[in-house]
């Protein structure tokens, strides 16, 4: 069984529903269980400013799938939930990023792990630290200027899945 961490973001439509649908879909993957979820944050867009605010969260999964399998599954779930890829860094119904898979270092054209820009993005790191503040994969000493709280606010302590 392997542990992996995923970042999820959405800024189109019913954002809470989109997050719930992503969690439900992940939990339906073969051999896979969502084992921890972060709080939900409302975050200002980064990379392309002229779009609505995001909801972002992180999840931990346990799975027998490989990192490549998970990547493929995430792209499949995104498509299934109606994601259309047009503007680079633009608005999306759902974005599911594989951030970490155990302590594996992967450098292939389709997948780079750990996610190369995760440590620069507070909308990724904040939720991960909710899940496991101690995890050596992402608990390195954060410089004061890295986790500012700017452009990110807690939106929900726990998303309710009925
Ligand atoms: C210079 C150039 C500085 C580009 C930053 C940052 C590009 C982030 C892409 C960047 C740059 C991204 C989300 C988002 C996106 C999200 C929030 C990306 C991909 N996804 N903003 N922007 N949440 N708040 O999930 O992460 S586009
Ligand atoms: Mg992303
Ligand atoms: Mg993505």
pTM: 0.96
162 is a catalytic site residue? no
162 is a domain residue: no
19 is a domain residue: yes
| Residue tagged active-site, from 15, 52, 53, 83 | 83
73 is a domain residue: yes
CA dihedral 112, 50, 125, 61 (to 10 degrees): -60
Residue 134: its pLDDT value, please? 86
Residue 82: its pLDDT value, please? 97
Domain that includes residue 148, residue range? 2-156
91: left (phi over 0), alpha (psi -120 to 50) or beta: beta
Ligand 1 binding pocket includes 43 (Cβ within 6 Å): yes
161 is a domain residue: no
> What b/e readout covers 7-41, taking b as 16+ CB neighbours within 10 angstroms?
bbbbbbeebeebbebbbebbeebeebebeebbbbb
10-residue mean pLDDT series, the chain (162 residues): 98 98 98 98 96 98 98 98 95 98 97 94 95 84 80 96 82
Ligand 1 binding pocket includes 12 (Cβ within 6 Å): no
Give the CATH number for residue 79: 3.30.70.560
């Amino acid at each position: 069984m392997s542990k992996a961490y995923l970042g999820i973001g959405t800024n189109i439509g019913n954002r809470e529903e989109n997050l719930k649908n992503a969690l439900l879909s992940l939990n339906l993957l073969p051999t896979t269980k969502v084992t921890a979820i972060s709080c939900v944050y409302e975050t200002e867009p980064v990379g392309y400013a002229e779009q609505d605010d995001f909801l972002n969260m992180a999840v931990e999964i346990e799975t027998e799938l490989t990192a490549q399998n998970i990547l493929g599954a995430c792209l499949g779930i995104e498509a299934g939930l109606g994601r259309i890829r047009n503007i680079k860094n633009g608005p999306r119904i759902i974005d599911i990023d594989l951030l970490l898979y155990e302590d594996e270092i992967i450098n292939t054209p389709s997948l780079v792990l750990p996610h190369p820009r995760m440590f620069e993005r507070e909308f990724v790191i904040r939720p991960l630290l909710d899940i496991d503040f101690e995890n050596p994969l992402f608990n390195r000493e954060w410089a004061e200027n890295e986790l500012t709280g700017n452009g990110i606010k807690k939106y929900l302590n726990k998303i309710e899945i009925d």
